[in-house]
């Protein structure tokens, strides 16, 4: 997809990968409607862009509020005249505990934001995208969406739902003007844990193993994602860990599951 001149909506744009995606799109000549629950984060993004920018609008919104999302297309079109692409990046993680110890409130919150938020945004904007000469939907899943991660089982389930939902959508829209991509980020240096209201667990060094795949910067992840949009790539992997674990899990899922379980034991107090 040619980015210059297009109008992109980006959720989770108040920080992390979402903020960097918005900045990368703006640098390529796109207009951006930035969506986030955090008004403070959106204000910081706008400050990075500069005073009174004409090609960015900010919208404070809870994407798990279906009624609020349903009203969003009109607000975006009022600000930008049209909408060409939706990037569903917003997401949260669960507390680092087993399913047995995870309360229902946390379960519902993760599913509502990660899966239903993505679903609501897609449903709200797809009718408008289908009317454009060329359009795009990009949904951010996770490495945890194809690989089981103990201590993040419900988070993984929500991102697996995003994965299959997006892949199904890709098939449904093959003969349309709407391109569809799913993104599988690996470990990325963002504040997703803090922003999710989850206590950050400490992970002690074990023979330097955690340095095998250093965390990707949010800026680099955004660069890979935007490049994938330009190439209309159905699947986009960010990070060598995501690429490697995808191949390993396809080759030997039991071995891969035991490997990631061993690495997660210190986080779970095992």
With beta carbons less than 8 A apart as the criterion, state whether 39 and 60 touch.
Answer: yes
With beta carbons less than 8 A apart as the criterion, state whether 178 and 122 touch.
Answer: no
Is residue 155 annotated as part of the catalytic site, yes or no? yes
Q: Which letter, b or e, does each residue of 91-127 get, where b requires 16 or more Cβ atoms within 10 Å of its Cβ?
A: bbbbbbbeeeebeeebbebbbbbbbbbbbbbbebbbe
Between CA 92 and CA 117 the distance in angstroms is 11
With beta carbons less than 8 A apart as the criterion, state whether 95 and 199 touch.
Answer: yes
- Between the two ends of the chain, the Cα-to-Cα distance in Å is 47
Stated as kind and residue range, the H or E segment containing 188 is strand 188-189
136, 155, 170, 249: the catalytic one is 155
Contacting residues for 22 by C-beta, under 8 A, at least 6 apart: 8, 10, 13, 32, 34, 45, 56
Between CA 270 and CA 268 the distance in angstroms is 5
Between CA 59 and CA 85 the distance in angstroms is 16
Between CA 137 and CA 86 the distance in angstroms is 5
Residue 39 CB neighbours (<10 A): 12
What are 87's strand-pairing partners? 10, 138
Paired tokens of 180 = 């569809």
Which are the catalytic amino acids?
Answer: 155
């Amino acid at each position: 997809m040619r980015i210059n001149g297009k109008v992109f909506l980006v959720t989770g744009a108040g920080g992390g990968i979402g903020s960097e995606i918005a900045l990368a799109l703006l640098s390529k000549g796109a207009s951006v409607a930035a969506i986030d629950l955090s008004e403070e984060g959106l204000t910081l993004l706008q400050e990075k862009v500069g005073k009174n920018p004409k090609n960015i609008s900010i919208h404070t919104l809870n994407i798990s509020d279906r009624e609020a999302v349903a009203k969003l297309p009109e607000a975006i079109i009022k600000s930008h005249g049209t909408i060409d692409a939706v990037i569903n990046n917003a997401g949260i993680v669960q507390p680092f505990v087993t399913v047995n110890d995870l309360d229902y409130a946390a379960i519902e919150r993760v599913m509502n934001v990660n899966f239903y938020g993505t679903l609501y945004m897609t449903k709200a904007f797809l009718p408008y995208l289908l009317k454009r000469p060329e359009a795009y939907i990009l949904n951010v899943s996770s490495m945890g969406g194809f690989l089981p991660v103990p201590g993040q089982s419900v988070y993984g389930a929500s991102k697996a739902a995003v994965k299959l939902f997006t892949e199904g959508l890709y098939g449904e829209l093959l003969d349309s003007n709407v391109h569809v991509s799913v993104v599988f980020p690996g470990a990325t240096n963002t504040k997703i844990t803090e922003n999710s209201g989850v206590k950050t667990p400490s992970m002690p060094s074990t023979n330097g193993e955690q340095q095998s795949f250093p965390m990707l910067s949010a800026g680099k992840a955004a660069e890979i994602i935007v490049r994938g949009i330009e190439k209309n790539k159905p699947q986009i992997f960010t990070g060598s860990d995501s690429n490697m674990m995808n191949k390993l899990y396809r080759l030997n899922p039991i071995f891969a599951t035991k490997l990631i379980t061993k690495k997660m034991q210190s986080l779970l107090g095992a």
